[in-house]
Structure 1
Amino acid sequence: MYHSFIFDLDGTIIDSELIGLQALQATLKEKGIEKSLAELRFSIGIPGMRTLEVLNIADISTTLETWLEKQKPLMKNVPLFEGIIDVIAQLPNVGLVTSQTAKEMNCGFYLLNIHHHFQTIVCASDTDKHKPNPEPLELALQLLDCEAKDAIYIGDSIYDLECAKSAGVDFGLALWGSKTVSGFEKADYIFETAYDILKLTNKKRKE
């Protein structure tokens, strides 16, 4: 059994990815940049600032603010994936590692009133480096007083997988968010539903 269960947020706990992509698309359109949602999917799992750097946006801070403002009204009522909070409530030592900034978290996550389910929360504002770099996950392990071998990170993106592997942590794919197993061959577990995670609480850790 694992000592700690650490989760990604977007696409794993909250069904927010389409909200973020549509807001980004609308923000770019105002700047005369036309991008399809498929072209913007690379942004899922990395901080907004990094996304805008990849897109070669000159005024990153202003654009980021506009993007966030477009997300705000929708993030207040962002849906939770079925069963995820019920599952989290049954797990020991639960952590959250997300690429959202503290400001983004205040506009959505904390309004959902589910933060009390997590023993520690690490966002993009807490570390200098971000996923897929292992630094955020390593900070969560430190705060949870847990060794890498005794933790599992559950997420839906390649960045989550790479972050976990770089930190020496097992990885569980949230298939309800990723919707594909392609590219996740190194995942230690494939969870089709949130309730599949509970199977790890009464089985020995894979060696």
Structure 2
Amino acid sequence: MTKKAIIFDFDGTIMDTNDLILNSWQHTFKHFEGKERSIEEIYETFGETLTYSMQNLLPNVETGLAIEKYREYQVVHSDEQIKIFDDIVKLLDELKNRDLLLSIVTSRLRNTTMKYLKSFDLLDYFDVIVTCDDTNIHKPKPEPALIALKKLNVRKDETIMVGDTRFDIGCANSAGIDSVLVNWGVAYRQENLPSEFIPKYVINKPMELLEVI
């Protein structure tokens, strides 16, 4: 069936925020622990809400203080450490030319999501934006994607969901939406993962999405 709507993740899929996220975490670790942690440990948090990750990685630090320190770095360095992935604008232009409905479903806060979309002139491409402020249940649970479906007024079989982490794939699969893993973000380890985290499609470049819709 030809798809009518596409749900995109934001960080690591539309925007290359990987360096900013890594450096924000290391800034936070150095402040509270006096040293950095492994990049692999930080990568494991990609796709989670920040509150959940902070509680998990810094359980002995008051979560609000840890998040404040994390965002302190982002406020100063976001403009220099964020960029759009190559060919994303080209892809979005083509999808809108085909009259597809586009949505973002992200575990990021609404205020920073909107800030970056506006800063990079991407906001007008998207018909619906669902952030962690819109639900108390987050990826990999299906609720964020189901909210997007309702707002887009489309069925799950008319939709495809695109992301770079197991949380995106799990969200799509649990919602009954065809899932697409992108390989231009953080490396996604599929080995030994339960079936609910295995994507239906894998693409290596943005324009390859056109082949699966």
TM over 0.5: yes
Identity of aligned residues (%): 27
Q: Name stretches of at least 5 consecutive residues in structure 2 with no aligned partner.
A: none
The structure-2 alpha-carbon separation of the partners of 1:57 and 1:99, relative to structure 1 and needing over 3 Å to count, comes to farther
- Is 1:83 the counterpart of 2:87? The answer is yes
Aligned-residue CA RMSD in angstroms? 1.8
Q: Name stretches of at least 5 consecutive residues in structure 1 with no aligned partner.
A: 202-207
Measure the CA separation in 2 of the matches of 1:177 and 1:49. 22
The structure-2 alpha-carbon separation of the partners of 1:69 and 1:122, relative to structure 1 and needing over 3 Å to count, comes to same
- In the alignment, is the contact (CA less than 8 A) between 1:76 and 1:111 conserved in 2? no
CA deviation after TM superposition for structure 1 residue 14, in Å: 0.7
Higher alpha-carbon deviation: 114-123 or 83-92: 83-92
Q: Which amino acid aligns with 1:51?
A: S
Q: Which amino acid aligns with 1:117?
A: Y
Q: Which amino acid aligns with 1:22?
A: N
- Is 1:71 the counterpart of 2:74? The answer is yes
Q: Which amino acid aligns with 1:197?
A: L
* Corresponding position of 2:135: 127
* Corresponding position of 2:62: 59
What are the Cα deviations for residues 35-87 of structure 1, in whole angstroms up to 9, with x where unaligned?
Answer: 22221111111111010111114311121122112012332341111111211
* Corresponding position of 1:191: 203
CA deviation after TM superposition for structure 1 residue 129, in Å: 0.9
- In the alignment, is the contact (CA less than 8 A) between 1:2 and 1:200 conserved in 2? no
Q: Partner of 1:31: helix, strand, or coil?
A: helix
The structure-2 alpha-carbon separation of the partners of 1:107 and 1:24, relative to structure 1 and needing over 3 Å to count, comes to farther
Measure the CA separation in 2 of the matches of 1:125 and 1:161. 20
- In the alignment, is the contact (CA less than 8 A) between 2:142 and 2:172 conserved in 1? yes
Higher alpha-carbon deviation: 87-96 or 101-110: 101-110
Q: Partner of 1:132: helix, strand, or coil?
A: coil
Q: Please give the TM-score of this superposition, normalised by the length of structure 1.
A: 0.90
- In the alignment, is the contact (CA less than 8 A) between 2:165 and 2:188 conserved in 1? no
What are the Cα deviations for residues 137-193 of structure 1, in whole angstroms up to 9, with x where unaligned?
Answer: 110111100111111100000111111111111101111114346347721111110
* Corresponding position of 1:146: 154
Q: Partner of 1:177: helix, strand, or coil?
A: coil
Measure the CA separation in 1 of the matches of 2:79 and 2:120. 7
* Corresponding position of 2:4: 3
Q: Partner of 2:202: helix, strand, or coil?
A: strand
- In the alignment, is the contact (CA less than 8 A) between 2:180 and 2:201 conserved in 1? yes
* Corresponding position of 2:23: 22
